[in-house]
């Protein structure tokens, strides 16, 4: 049971977002810019960073929700998403992505864990300042979202089909529209 | 506030650290659902802001006067309306003075 009275049957972060629409708005706007805004990193790559950090934070809802968006954008490649979570260094992602995931993993542990060597590795693989910035901020933001979701003990469904369906909707509609629809009951 | 700070401290360690007992303690002291919600989200948000600031190894002045200036301005104008140039100019003029 959640720590506070949240609307019944609304999973994960959507419960507290329905409870507190005024804070849901900037939270979704941030996710939209970070994960779907114009960027040299593909949306699937940014979703993988979000999924990896959520997995490191052991947030069931977030890692499955964003893992599903990443997999949908990768043509249903759930194996790759799992590989990244288990050990990104041996996963079939670019060397630049591995370097950015390494930075994200350090950010998850704490900002000060990121070393000049981590940054140099990313730069040597062609990462730009903006890509490094965005990786740090995505990782930091998921340290927020994950704590919001678990700190209130929200309900996380375990049915993979729900996450696949939700992943498709988030990939197609985006965080602002999909959430607005859901909270307005349009999809229910 | 003590009960809410205890919850915030748990959130900082990780969302799953918050127990039903922590929440009961806050409720016992009259905290509302909204107050508990906001406490969790403020703590979570600062786990983001802190990592953003330190993860990029940003410059952090050590002069307490700078923080007083920024604090007053933020209290007066809010986070969106505040103007970073003023405190930065104050730092610059201070540094110039100490040079001369």
Please write the tens of the pLDDT for every residue from A10-65.
999 999 999 999 999 999 999 999 999 999 999 999 999 999 999 999 999 999 99
Structural domain includes residue A56: yes
DSSP state of A88: G
- How many Cβ atoms sit within 10 Å of the Cβ of residue A175? 20
* Closest by Cβ to A4, choosing from B10, B12, B37: B37
Structural domain includes residue A25: no
Q: How many domains does chain A have?
A: 1
Higher pLDDT, B86 or B7: B7
- Chain B nearest-CA distance from A144, in A, is 4
A66 pLDDT more than 90? yes
Q: Which residues of A152-169 are buried (b: 16+ CB within 10 A; e: fewer)?
A: bbbbbbeeeeebbebbbb
Report, as an integer, the average pLDDT of A173-185.
87
A151 touches chain B (CB under 8 A): yes
A37 touches chain B (CB under 8 A): no
Q: Which residue of B has its CA nearest to A56?
A: B14
Task: Map tokens 């040597």 to a residue.
Answer: A124
Structural domain includes residue A1: no
A155 touches chain B (CB under 8 A): no
A121 contacts: CB under 8 Å, gap ≥ 6: A99, A102
Residues A151, B57: C-beta atoms closer than 8 Å: no
A162 contacts: CB under 8 Å, gap ≥ 6: A11
A186 pLDDT more than 50? no
The range of the structural domain enclosing residue A65 comes to: 41-174
Quote the CA–CA distance of A176 and A173 in Å, as a whole number. Answer: 8
User: Residue A57 sits in a domain of what CATH number?
Assistant: 1.20.1290.10
Structural domain includes residue A36: no
- How many Cβ atoms sit within 10 Å of the Cβ of residue A37? 12
Name which of A148-152, A163-167, A184-188 the model is least confident about.
A184-188
B42 touches chain A (CB under 8 A): no
pLDDT-based confidence at A187, cuts 50/70/90? Answer: very low
Residues B33, A19: C-beta atoms closer than 8 Å: yes
- Between the CA of residue A165 and those of A64, A72, A123, what are the distances in Å? 11, 9, 36
Select from B8, B3, B2 the least CA-distant residue to B27: B3
Q: What is the mean pLDDT of chain A?
A: 95
pLDDT-based confidence at A151, cuts 50/70/90? Answer: very high
Residues, chain A? 188
Residues A147, B51: C-beta atoms closer than 8 Å: no
Write B62-70 long-range contacts (CB < 8 A, 24+).
B63/B91, B63/B94, B65/B90, B65/B94, B66/B90, B66/B91
Structural domain includes residue A151: yes
Structural domain includes residue A168: yes
A107 touches chain B (CB under 8 A): yes
A106 touches chain B (CB under 8 A): yes
Residues B54, A3: C-beta atoms closer than 8 Å: no
Q: Check residue A63 and give its pLDDT.
A: 98
Q: CA A145, A60, A104: angle at the middle one, nearest 5?
A: 55
pLDDT-based confidence at A109, cuts 50/70/90? Answer: very high
Which of B13, B39, B44, B46 is the best mutation test for A, with the most CBs of A within 10 A?
B44
B33 touches chain A (CB under 8 A): yes
Share of chain A above pLDDT 70, in %: 98
Kindly give the residue spans of alpha helices, DSSP state H, lying in chain B. Answer: 2-13, 20-28, 33-55, 64-81, 85-99
Chain-centroid distance, C-alpha B59 = 17
Structural domain includes residue A180: no
């Amino acid at each position: 049971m959640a720590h506070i009275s949240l609307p019944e049957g609304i999973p994960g972060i959507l419960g507290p977002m329905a409870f507190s629409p005024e804070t849901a708005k900037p939270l979704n706007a941030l996710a939209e810019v970070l994960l779907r805004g114009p960027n040299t990193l593909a949306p699937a790559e940014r979703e993988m960073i979000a999924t990896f950090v959520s997995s490191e934070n052991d947030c069931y809802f977030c890692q499955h929700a964003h893992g599903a968006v990443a997999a949908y954008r990768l043509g249903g490649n759930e194996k790759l998403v799992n590989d990244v979570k288990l050990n990104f260094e041996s996963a079939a992602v670019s060397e630049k992505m591995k370097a950015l995931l390494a930075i994200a993993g350090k950010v998850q542990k704490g900002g000060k864990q990121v070393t000049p060597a981590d940054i140099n590795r990313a730069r040597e693989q062609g990462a730009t300042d903006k890509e490094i910035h965005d990786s740090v901020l995505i990782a930091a933001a998921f340290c927020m979202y994950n704590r919001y979701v678990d700190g209130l003990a929200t309900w996380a469904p375990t049915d993979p089909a729900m996450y696949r369906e939700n992943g498709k909707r988030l990939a197609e509609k985006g965080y602002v529209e999909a959430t607005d629809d859901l909270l307005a009951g349009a999809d229910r | 506030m003590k009960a809410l700070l205890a919850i915030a401290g748990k959130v900082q360690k990780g969302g799953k650290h918050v127990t039903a007992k922590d929440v009961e303690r806050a409720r016992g002291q009259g905290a509302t659902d909204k107050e508990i919600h906001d406490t969790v989200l403020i703590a979570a948000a600062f786990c983001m802001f802190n990592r953003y600031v330190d993860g990029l190894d940003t410059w952090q002045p050590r002069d307490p006067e700078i923080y007083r200036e920024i604090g007053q301005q933020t209290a007066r104008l809010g986070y969106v309306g505040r103007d970073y140039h003023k405190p930065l100019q104050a730092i610059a003029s201070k540094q110039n003075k100490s040079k001369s």
